[in-house]
Amino acid sequence: MNHLKLLILKWINKPTSKEKELTSKINELKKSQESVSITENFSKYSKIQRQINKVEEELSNSRNERNNITIQLGFAYGPKVVLGFLLVTLSIYYRGTPIITLDNSIDLTPFSFLISYPHGANAVSFHFWILCSSATARLIKLKN
């Protein structure tokens, strides 16, 4: 499980091409800064340091922007994935149990097979109930 979690985190936090470019630029600037002596040529050393700081700030902004997008997607689609998994699990678990069994005096013809699919006549199946609930929720969402 931890291996899967690490793979997912690596995929989500994979650096973009812009971030890779900025990181390589920082490394180049640090190498050039190492070749300059701080005591002998302080102005050149500090100029390179300011460039490094500027590029590091750009890199930090880029990472923050990417993380914000990841968080927004997580909040948008995370609950939907959980709800979908829950509905599939409940559909499998309750596939043989009718939600409502109606009296014999009520006839659901011509839709009785569709409404009570895995059960006998005059029963409302879990699958049909989920279908109706989802359609009703979408209609309510559209009107608001």
Q: What is the pLDDT of residues 100-133, one digit of tens each?
A: 888 878 777 777 777 777 777 778 888 888 888 8
Q: Is the pLDDT of residue 78 over 70?
A: yes
Q: Is the pLDDT of residue 24 over 90?
A: yes
Residues 104 and 71 in one domain: no
| Amino acid type, 144 | N
Domain membership flag for residue 84: no
- Residue range of the domain that includes 111: 94-144
Residues 71 and 46 in one domain: yes
Residues 53 and 107 in one domain: no
Residues 3 and 57 in one domain: yes
Residue-wise pLDDT for 45-66, tens only, equals: 899 999 999 999 999 998 888 8
Span of 15-24, 37-46, 89-98, 103-112 with lowest mean pLDDT: 103-112
Domain membership flag for residue 88: no
Domain membership flag for residue 87: no
**pLDDT reported for residue 1:** 62
Residues 4 and 69 in one domain: yes
Q: For residue 112, give both structure tokens.
A: 């009785």
Cα–Cα dist 98/116, whole Å: 8
Number of domains comprising the chain: 2
Which pTM does this prediction carry? 0.52
Residues 69 and 108 in one domain: no
Domain membership flag for residue 134: yes
Residues 34 and 71 in one domain: yes
Residues 143 and 115 in one domain: yes
Range 121-129, long-range pairs (CB < 8 A, 24+ positions): 123/98, 123/99, 124/98, 124/99, 124/100, 125/95, 125/98, 125/99, 126/90, 126/91, 126/94, 126/95, 126/97, 126/98, 126/99, 127/91, 127/95, 129/99
